[in-house]
């Protein structure tokens, strides 16, 4: 015996059609919003990048390094797996080098503006 319904009442059919119509409309609205956001999120040209952009990315690199060093290096999983700990150490070194590199670029590029 089939426990699923093989037929629907007129009211159920109407309700399903209304639901499909509503979801289709919501989907179209979401697509429009997404297209608007894609247009709004344009690429920034090199001339538009200012000192704050550098400060922001340097700050994020600092946070990545801090979180990795403070919360991951001493985590029991990394204590248990030396090969994973070594990869983490290498990644943190890369973040530190990137932090230094971009800090030097920021200093050189904007040192006249800070005076």
- Model confidence pLDDT, tens digit, residues 63-86: 999 999 999 999 999 999 999 999
Q: Residue 30 belongs to what domain range?
A: 8-39
Q: Please say if the pLDDT value at position 110 is more than 90.
A: no
69 and 106 in a common domain: yes
58, 102 in Cβ contact below 8 A? yes
101 and 51 in a common domain: yes
13 and 66 in a common domain: no
pLDDT at 7: 67
99 and 60 in a common domain: yes
Asked whether residue 63 is domain-assigned, the answer is yes
61 and 32 in a common domain: no
Query: Would you tell me how many other CB atoms lie within 10 Å of the CB of residue 57?
Result: 16
Q: How many domains does the chain have?
A: 2
Helix (H) or strand (E) holding 94: helix 82-114
Asked whether residue 115 is domain-assigned, the answer is no
Query: Would you tell me how many other CB atoms lie within 10 Å of the CB of residue 61?
Result: 20
- Model confidence pLDDT, tens digit, residues 19-43: 888 888 888 888 888 777 766 666 7
pLDDT at 36: 72
Question: If you average pLDDT over residues 38-60, what whole number do you get?
Answer: 83
């Amino acid at each position: 015996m089939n426990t699923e319904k093989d037929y629907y009442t007129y009211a159920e059919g109407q309700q399903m059609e209304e639901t499909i119509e509503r979801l289709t409309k919501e989907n179209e609205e979401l697509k429009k919003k997404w297209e608007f956001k894609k247009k709004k999120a344009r690429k920034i040209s090199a001339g538009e990048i200012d000192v704050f952009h550098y400060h922001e990315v340097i700050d994020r690199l600092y946070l990545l390094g801090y979180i990795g060093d403070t919360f991951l290096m001493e985590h029991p999983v990394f204590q248990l797996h030396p090969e994973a700990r070594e990869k983490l150490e290498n990644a943190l070194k890369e973040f530190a080098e990137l932090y230094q590199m971009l800090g030097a670029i920021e200093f050189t590029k904007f040192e006249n503006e800070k005076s």
